[in-house]
Each structure stands twice: as C-alpha cells, then as structure tokens.
Amino acid sequence: MVLPAFTLDAADGSRAFPTGRPALLCFVKEDCPTCGLSMPLIEEAHRAFGNEVDVLIVGQDAEGNAVLVERHGLTAPILDDSALHVSFAYDLDTVPTVILADPTGEERTRFVGFGRDDWRHLVSSLAETSGLRAPAVDWDAYPESRPGCGSKSVEPGIAERLEAEASGSPLRARRIEIATQDDEFEFMFDQGLTDGLPVVPPTPERVLRMLRGTRRDAQEVVATVPPNMAPATIEKIAINAVMAGCLPEYLPVVIAAIEAVCTDTFNAHGIMATTMGAAPVLVVNGPIRHRIGMNMGLGVLGQGNRANATIGRALMLVLRNVGGAKPGGTERSTFGSPMKYTMAFAEWEERSPWSPLHVERGFRAEQSVLTAFGMTGAPHLIVDQTSRSARALGGSIGVGLESAAHPKAHRYGDVLLVVGPEHLDTLTHDGYATKEHLRARVQEVTARPFADVVSDDEVGGGASADSLTSMTAEQRARLVPKFDTPANIHIVVAGADAGKWSAFFAGWTTGAGGTIPTSRVIEE
C-alpha cells in the first residue's frame, strides 16, 4: 500500500514524505507513556541508520513535541502534526504507530503500541537493509509489550473536525468565518438565523455528527422549500437540526417532516404566509417514538422533552433559513403563534384500543410515520370532569370542537383532536370501540339548522345571511354538522393518565388553496 504523501514543519525546516529513501515514520504524542517507552529506541534507530534511512517522528501537538525533544535528548527530526491532518489521513486509532516505508512510500512494516519483538525485528531489518551495524540494545530492559494510547485524531470533537476538513468531506454548504473574539451566539442573532431563541452554532464537527443519523447522501435534495423555492439537501437539514438542538437519531424524523411539509398538498407557503397564524403540527407514530424518546404522556404538548421540542423547531428553522419564511417578509401572521417555534409530539398508541393515526391513514402498524397538519392558534383545552357516559362526554367534546375558528363556522375543514387517557377510558368503557363512534357523535351533537349558522346583527362569523332569502323553510331547517365530513376529524391519544381533559388544534383552510394533512414514512 502506498502511504499518503505529506509535508510537515520541523525545527530545521519542512520535511516531505516520501523522501526518496527508506523512511521510518513514528507517530507519537507526549502524554502517552507507551510513546515515552518507545522514544529511546526511535532515537537509537535514527543515530544508527540515519545516514541511510529517514527516521521521522510525527508528533501530535507542538508543545508536547518540544517536551519530548528535551526529555529524551532527541536528535531525530520531530515533525509538527498538531493540526492532525496527517494522523487523520493515516487513519490512526492508536499511538505509537510505527511504519517502515520504502523509497517510493510503499508500506513495508507497521506495528501499533509497544512490542519488544516488533522492535527487535525492525532493528534487524533496518541493519540488513542499510548495511549498517545495529545498535546495542539491552532488550531485557524493555517489557514484552505495552498497549498504546488513543490518537488525538480520534478524540471526540477532533475526529469530526478532521473529517469536515478532509478533501472527502460530505459538507458543501458555505462556511461563515467569524472573528475569534466574536460571540458566536450573538453572531447568529445578528445574521437573522434564529427564531428569537438562541441556536446551537452549526460547526462542521456538529453537522457531521448529525449526518451520522441517516444513511442518505448529504447532497441528496429532499425537497424544494417555499417561499424562496430553495433546494433542501440532507446537509442543510442537518445544519438546521444542529441549530435546533437535535440529536443525530432525530434526523430521520426531521427529514420526513420536510418531505411532508414541502408538498403541494400541504402547502407550506400558504401555511406560513396566511395572516391567520397557521403552523405545522407534527404527529409521530410507530416504533421510532420509543427509540428516540419522544413524549406521548405527561406534558405532551408542552415543554421539557428534547425530541418533541427540537424536531418541530428544526422544521421551522428549515422553513425560515432555507425557505426564507421570516416574519415581516412572506410571514404575515397577524398574531403569530407559539406553534411557530415548534409543535411535534407522538401518539400514545399502546394506551389506546383504537387504531393509531398512521394505521387509519393506510400505513402498517410496524412502520414509523410522520403526519403533518396545518393548524392555527395553539392547543385548546376541552374540560369535562363530570361526564360518566360516552354519549355525554362525546357531546362535550363535540360542542368544544364547535368553537374551532368560530362556533358558526360549519362545514369546517380539518381538526386534530388529542383525547386524554381519562377521557379515553370513559369513552371506550362505555361502548366507543373505535374512533368512528366519537366522530359520529361529534357530527351529531354539532349539527345545527342552517338558519342558525348564518351571520346576523347579533352574532357574525357565519354564512352569509343573504343565502336565506332564496331558501325554503325546509332548507333553512336542514341540519349542518360542524365538520365537512367525519374524516376531517383526526383523532390521536396522548397525555397523562391523570386529568379529565382533551385538547384540539383547529385547522387552517382545507383543500385546494389550503392545506391537506400529509404523511411520510420515516426512513431510518
């Protein structure tokens, strides 16, 4: 194997490899005891064979190199690899690593750590190759073997930096250099790259670590992100996932969220531009919920869980930093919404006898699936601590849902209902064996005569009163349910076991020109 060529600085000038002569490369670091054990033998090899063989000590930090020279009285040249690029190129795990190469740079011998027999054989081989006398070494003074130490090039943080700096790095995004005295967190604020909260600086090391969360190519274009219609590569998604505070294992979920949201059916441009204040709400189903520690119980729609908080935030940062959806630009929400920071949670499938959301939407139970909804405002609580029958509680939930957007807004589009476990128990113990039972009850209890859901001088917000003038009495009395169809009522189970509450998210405009809930399989 031909070894990588390099040029490094030494005290007497730079040295290049290959040298045109046999070369002995010795990779060491000062704080490694086994390297210290090897140093006298390296120096002996240099003094005995230096006229015919280039003995090059490759030290892994500049200050430590100076210590080694003084401590061992070295005359062999010690090369400064404190940047660790050569150690990385040689794929070192351990020091000392000793390599004998021929004049063309072809590797002939290599050993790692300290082995007395390895050194004895090497010295004999150098003597035979050079025609020079081997040094007198008291081999009995050396131990039979000693393990080496970890190379600095594989230390956490350093390994990622070296990979990012290597010519084969998967990173292609433009790098921004900041002054050494600049506060990197304030810099991110100044550049408009945050959502108003601090973000994690996306250093190359952190981005590479994030990319290990997926097998997909870093330069694969996942989606075109509105409103700027900018391409979102896996790398750019990873950058924003770092900024959001994600762990690498969350990355497949974030990617699925981008795939779902940046579609014509979901209409992220409309979601982010409407003055109504809509935002994506992400629901995760399947095995990945447990693997990455998503919250589906106590405080499910609130703070405190890293996976829930950062997955939703990563999506919003991609829409902002890649797509350009920023308040005051295309982002024109009148009031905004806390959901524009983040909103992602998991369904507590195991707590419910009902079919989980992704199965209802045609996926297999064992698949991990993300579903994106375009919702407005924030979660609304439905409070009912008194109902003891499914019919009564279903009625409470129905009239609670009737307030979505406006109580008179009937033939409404989508709503996402989160049924709490205590409410679930009341419903299922009293005959509501499926979600369809609850959907039917909601439609039943919210059905109003058409004449009651039109605007009038007392209460606006409904259908135009002008439509009544051409209607018959029968048409005016026709019952109109709250939701256009039962299928518009999307139901999941989540929340703590204690508390007789449910919650709901009211949908933004549904259908053409609006948004349609969109699901994607999470590719792990």
Per residue in 246-263, pLDDT tens?
999 999 999 999 999 999
Domain for residue 28, yes or no? yes
> Quick one: 113 and 201 in the same domain?
no
pLDDT at 489: 98
Model confidence at 217, pLDDT cuts 50, 70, 90, reads: very high
Residues 133 and 264 occupy one common structural domain? no
Residue of 370, 232, 361, 265 whose CA lies nearest to 307: 370
Structure token digits, residue 264: 């014509």
Buried b (16+ CB within 10 A) or exposed e, 189-203: eeeebbbeeebbebb
Residues 315 and 233 in one domain: yes
Q: Is the pLDDT of residue 158 over 90?
A: no
Whether 125 and 196 map to the same domain: the answer is no
471 has a pLDDT exceeding 90 = no
Residue 23 and residue 72 share a domain: yes
pLDDT band of residue 406 (cuts 50, 70, 90) is very high
Residue 443 CB partners (closer than 8 Å, separation 6+): 398, 481, 482, 483, 486, 489
In a domain, 333, yes or no: yes
CA distances from 282 to 22, 94, 261, 316, 457 (A): 62, 45, 10, 11, 39
As beta bridge partners, residue 233 has: 221
pLDDT band at 39 (very low <50, low <70, confident <90, very high): very high
Return the structure tokens found at 219: 């330069």
Percent of the chain with pLDDT over 70: 100
**What are phi and psi for residue 479, nearest 5 degrees?**
-80, 135
Residue 152 in contact with residue 87, Cβ under 8 Å? Answer: yes
If asked whether residues 148 and 204 sit together in one domain, one would say no
Cα separation, 91 vs 86, in Å, equals 9
pLDDT at res. 169? 77
In terms of Cα–Cα distance, which of 285, 298, 291 is closest to 346?
285
Mean pLDDT of 464-485: 89
pLDDT of residue 345 exceeding 70: yes
Q: What is the predicted pLDDT for the residue at 229?
A: 94
* Per-residue pLDDT tens over the stretch 293-310: 999 999 999 999 999 999
What average pLDDT does this structure show over 417-443?
Answer: 98
Query: What confidence category does residue 224 fall into, taking pLDDT thresholds of 50, 70 and 90?
Result: very high
The answer to whether the CB of 364 falls within 8 A of the CB of 293 is no
pLDDT value of residue 365: 97
First CA to last CA across the chain, in angstroms? 36
Domain that holds residue 101: 6-155
* pLDDT of 465 strictly over 90: no
Residue 232 and residue 257 in contact, taking contact as beta carbons nearer than 8 Å: no
Phi/psi at 16 (5° precision): -115, 150
pLDDT-based confidence at residue 157 (cuts at 50, 70, 90): confident
The answer as to whether 196 is a domain residue is yes
With b meaning 16 or more CB within 10 Å and e meaning fewer, what string describes 256-275? bbbbbbbbeebbbbbbbbbe
- When pLDDT is cut at 50, 70 and 90, the band that residue 167 belongs to is low
Counted domains in the chain? 2
3-state SS string for 252-274? HHHHHHHHHHCCCCCCHHHHHHC
Q: Region 106-122: what's the mean pLDDT? A: 96
Is a pLDDT exceeding 70 seen at residue 95?
A: yes
Q: Do 138 and 284 share a structural domain? A: no
Q: What is the spatial distance between Cα 397 and Cα 476, in angstroms, rounded to a whole number?
A: 26
Q: Which of 150-154, 237-241, 454-458 has the lowest mean pLDDT?
A: 454-458
- Whether 226 and 134 map to the same domain: the answer is no
Read off the CATH number of the domain in which 12 is found: 3.40.30.10
Cα separation, 5 vs 56, in Å, equals 13
Asked if residue 246 belongs to a domain, the reply is yes
Clarify whether residues 227 and 147 are in a common domain. Answer: no
Cα(303)–Cα(308) distance, rounded to whole angstroms? 8
Is residue 340 a part of any domain in this protein? yes
The answer to whether residue 385 is domain-embedded is yes
pLDDT band at 492 (very low <50, low <70, confident <90, very high): very high
What is the tens place of the pLDDT at every residue in 256-288? 999 999 999 999 999 999 999 999 999 999 999
Mean pLDDT of the chain: 94
Q: Say if residue 225 is in the same domain as residue 76.
A: no
Residue 177 belongs to some domain of the structure: no
**Taking the model in full, what pTM does it have?**
0.77
pLDDT of residue 390: 98
User: Residues 139, 204: one domain?
Assistant: no
Within-domain flag for 171: no
Taken in order 216, 374, 244, 167, is the CA torsion positive or negative?
positive
- Residue of 216, 371, 346 whose CA lies nearest to 292: 346
- Whether 331 and 415 share a structural domain: yes
The whole-angstrom separation of Cα 141 and Cα 124 is 18
